[in-house]
Structure formats: C-alpha cells, structure tokens
Chains A and B, each alone.
Chain A
Amino acid sequence: DAGITQSPRHKVTETGTPVTLRCHQTENHRYMYWYRQDPGHGLRLIHYSYGVKDTDKGEVSDGYSVSRSKTEDFLLTLESATSSQTSVYFCAISESRLALSYEQYFGPGTRLTVT
C-alpha cells in the first residue's frame, strides 16, 4: 500500500470556522491532489500540486486553499466552512516519468461535517 495518511479522519465543525486537513506521504511522489466525494458527483478535483510551492486549482476550488511547503505534506484549508462543504475528502499522490500519466493512489479519506 502507498504510504498516504490523512488527518483528521473525522471532523465536525461549525459554519464559519476555518478547517485544515492534512495529507502526508512517504513515497516522495511529486504530484499530490485533493478531491471531494459527494453522492451523484463521483470525485471532483479541488486543488493539486506538482511540486513544493507549486499548486493550481481544480474544478471545485472556490472556498478552498492549499499549501505545500514540503514534498511530503499537502494541506487543504477551508477558510470559512459552509454546510455545502460537508463531504468526504480524499488526498491522492502520483508519480510522473517520461511525461506519462501514472495511477493515483488515494489516502483513506476524511469525513468532514459542517453544522
């Protein structure tokens, strides 16, 4: 199994509070991703990183920010949590060599509830 951990695994928070989710990898992979999973939508990309301090937006980035100060850590911040951000959040990592797209490996997920 790929070495990916997410913390916390479960969190309940109130509307308007900031929340930070952490993804940690031990694989030294260059690419890291944050997704959210909601019923009827599959997985949707929030933000991704292609190196330390190199990040970009995905398709559902509004209300989220990310940071990557070290290869192994990718943080997702909900600046002011809303009920619409209640979801399961997955982190993923992948390698890239020779400009080929390789499979992504996923962390165990974080279930976030915003009340």
Chain B
Amino acid sequence: AQKVTQAQTEISVVEKEDVTLDCVYETRDTTYYLFWYKQPPSGELVFLIRRNSFDEQNEISGRYSWNFQKSTSSFNFTITASQVVDSAVYFCALSESAGTYKYIFGTGTRLKVLA
C-alpha cells in the first residue's frame, strides 16, 4: 500500500531561519510521482513541485529547494531564509505511475514563521 508520512505536525521558526520539511513515502511502484503543495491561511492549495521517481536531481527555485532520495524514500523540502509569507500548511503527496493518477497525501506540516 502507498503511504506518505509527514512526521512534523507543526514547526515554528524565526524569520530568516532555514527550515526543512520532511516527507517519507512508501510505494511498491517502480515509477511514481511526488508533489508538494502549499496551503496558506486563505485556504487554497497551491502546487509547488512535481518530481518523477526516475529523476533524482535536486531542484532549487528561489528560496525553495527539494531533496529527493530514493534510497531513504524521502522527498524533503527546504525553505532558505524563511519569511512570514511562508507561513502555511505544506502537504507532500504521492501518485501512482499510471492509470488513475490518484494522490495519497501526507497529513501536512504547519509552518509558522515569526517576525
């Protein structure tokens, strides 16, 4: 069975600190997809990144970076120099390789960035 674990329920940091959000997944598929979404206090879900299982390159987008490690089944998300606007709930999700493209979501990590 597929599973996504976000063990950190809530994290608080002071502005300008770096913070890493952990995501550990389980799947029997050899091809799969991983995603991160952001849910700010306004409630909408914002897509951040998609990663294919066959592409282990890390990715950086501005202050955001993602570290994908198949050996440890992890897809961690780091925010560098955090800002108050980064305060949100962040969800990691796993998708099947083909067919229904259903997601399994983690329970989310609430990030609070204090000024």
Contact = CB atoms under 8 A, between A and B. Distances in A.
Contacts of B32: 101
A42 B106 contact: yes
The range of chain A's interface size is 20 to 34
A92 B100 CA distance: 13
Given A42-B91, A42-B108, A106 B44 contact: yes
Interface residues of B, number: 24
Given A41-B107, A43-B105, A48-B102, A102 B43 contact: no
Contact of A31 (B35, B47, B98, B101): B101
A94 B101 contact: yes
A86 to B, nearest CB: 16
A96 interface: yes
A90 B103 CA distance: 13
A45 B44 contact: no
A44 B102 CA distance: 10
A44 B33 contact: no
A104 interface: yes
